[in-house]
Structure formats: structure tokens, C-alpha cells
Structure 1
Amino acid sequence: MNNAPAFETKHFLPGLLAGWVVGAALVMLVRLLGGVALTDPCRGHTILALLMPLLLGPGGLAFAALNWRRPRISALGLGFMVASLFPALYLGVRDIGELRHIGCAGGYVIVAQPGGKSISTLTLGGGETKTLTGRLGGYTPQSHPGPFTLAAQSTTPDVTVTLPKTSVLVGEEFPIQVTARKGTPVNTYTAGINATGQKDGREVTASGTFGVKVNP
């Protein structure tokens, strides 16, 4: 005998709608309270943007699973999951984009082959030097018109990263020279580029890393 509850649309859809309404209301309430409590324009806003999608999604799934024998109650959990996507995730992504635009969420450095696509790993032979290009992303020239100071790092002294230009503007390409010393052990190392600027008297940063695979 099958003891599983019969699926009835007339029970399921009202519960789903009710769960979405309650979830959406909670999203708006938390956003309102968070906006009042967070007086700093940057600090805490990324957590606030991600909090409700992370709570409603897994929480709604767990609620639905625990009450799967009661379709109307289980549908509430599914409604929470829908609310975790819209409006919670939609508004959260929009908020993070705005934080990035004003310089709160940080930028990034895009590393690419000259005239090509961005890369995550560069392959070098011992004693070989290659030139890549870098560009600051996550900001716009309008939101961050000032210069950024560049610095490079490497996880081993056998791989050196040289920056012919150390001051650039957002969107401006700059060269990155990577050299593997002769006799460098075969391995994959990590190199990084950091950029530091100013926005309304506050320090803003951008960073990026890539792997350097050294062959014999």
C-alpha cells in the first residue's frame, strides 16, 4: 500500500504562493532594518545582500523536506525557495553591483595574453620570459577617475613578476612581464597583481592572481 500523500494542486498552489509572500515580506523587512542599522556605506552591506538568499533557499528546502507528507505545509518551504531567488537573490546581486560601483565591494585585475582572452595559468620554460597584459575591472573611469598604484607578488623568488608601469587608470591596459629563472623546479606557482587607489578619501583596491606553470 502506498502511504505517500496524494498531490493536490488546490492544496499545493496556495501554500506555494503563501510561502513566497511571507518570504518576500521577510526580505523587505530585513533589508529595511539592515539599511537603518548599517550606518557605514560599505561595512556589512555585502553580508546583508547575501543573508536572505542563503537563509531562505536552504531553509525552505529543509522545511519542505521535513513536511513532505503535508503538501500544503511543504509548499510553504518551496515558496520560501522561490522567494530566495526573487526577490532576495535578484536584489542581493543588484546591491552587490552597486557596492562594487561605488568602490565598496572591491575590484579585480584581469590578466590576459596580449590581444587575447583572460587566462588563469601561464606556462613557462626555465629561463623564459613572457609578457601579459593587465586591466582593472569592477570599477569605471567615471566612478574611479584617479590613478591606481600597482604591485606584484610571487610565491617563489624563482618566478619574478615585473610591472613596467606602476600607475594606471581604470580600463587602461598595462604590461606584465613574467620570468622563470633557469633551474626553477617544475611546479605551478602563484603570482598576483594588486592595485591601490583612492575614492572620496577612502582606500580602494583591486587584485588578481594567476598560476605560473614552470616546465623544464
Structure 2
Amino acid sequence: MKSKAERIRIKRASRAGRPRKANVARYPGGQIKHGESEREVCSVALDARRRMHFSGRRDADVASPFAGYTLGRMFLDGKLTAHEREAGDEYSRQMARYYSLTGIPFPSVRAQSLFDVKGFAGETSAERARGARQAANRMMELEGVLLKLPDGPQVKTTVFNVCIMDYEMLRTMPEPQLAWLKRGLMELHWQLGLSREKEGA
């Protein structure tokens, strides 16, 4: 015969939580197997991207890999050429390499996993130190190239904010600021060795 306390405990346990779903596939541990296909998951993401950034645009633009960041969306909007987008992508790669090798967290919170951000210990190998020095020299060289242009500080800041910080509000930047961005990206395109000759030269 069960005691009164034990009967109350069993009664509470049977009423706790919502009832289990019936007729669903489960893993041996009791968790429900999710039956969503990759297509269904992608359709949810694409619908959200369409609502946020591409209302009334064709599906090819929404599904494009360039639609995932501000520089790519400006390219899809027709504001930037393929050369300029390519230069911005390579500039971002060079800066990401600099940040990772020197142990500095990437400045844009949206471009990283906050739980994976960590510097490196004070002791480092000679190979890592050499790579960090090369990346730092490359970063300073690219920043110097941007600062030497006419309106250099504005050009550098605009390129950094679009390519690294990924500020969505800059997608609708005014024409003078867009001219700074285009000027910086074209100079980077030539400087990074993506083109043998400067366009229009």
C-alpha cells in the first residue's frame, strides 16, 4: 500500500508538462525526429531574406550567395560592379586573416560566433608570429592605399564600414559616399592584384 505522499507525488508527475505527442517518430532517447527537409528549411530562410531585404525581387537574387551581406546586396542592386564586389570580398578576407592571426576579435558582432571569440596565449610559434607580422603589414599597406586617395579618411571609413562592419544602412548611402566606396574598391582591386591594369587607365 502506497503512502499518501507517494500517491500525491505520482499524481503530480502524471499531470506535469504537456502530454506527449502521439504518432511521431522518436529517437531512442525519446526526442522527436524532425522531419523538415533541407528545402523546407531553406524556404523559411529565403522568405525571411525576401521580407527583410528584397521585397518584390526575383527569386534568383534572393537565393544568391551575394544576398547574405551588404556588399553583395549592393552588387545585386546594381550599385557596384563585379570588380568592385570582388575587391571588397578580398579586402574582407585579408582583414579577417589579420584579426585571426593577431588574436583580435573581428569587429563586427554579426560576423562571428561570440562563444568562439578568444585570443591566443602569449606563447606562440615562430610560424604564427611570422604569419601575424605578414598579415599586419598587409593590413597597414591596404589602409595606406585607401588613405592616400582623395578624401582618404572618408574612403577608408566607408570601405571598412561596408566590407567589415557590414552595416545594412549603408546600402542606401548617398551618391557622394557611394563614390568614395567605389573609388576605394577600385583602388583595392588593382592593389590586391585582382587586375593587371587599372580600369579606365
TM-score, normalised with respect to structure 2: 0.24
- Kindly indicate which of the two structures has a greater share of residues assigned to helix: 2
Question: Which protein has the larger Cα radius of gyration, Structure 1 or Structure 2?
Answer: 2
- Kindly indicate which of the two structures has a greater share of residues assigned to strand: 1
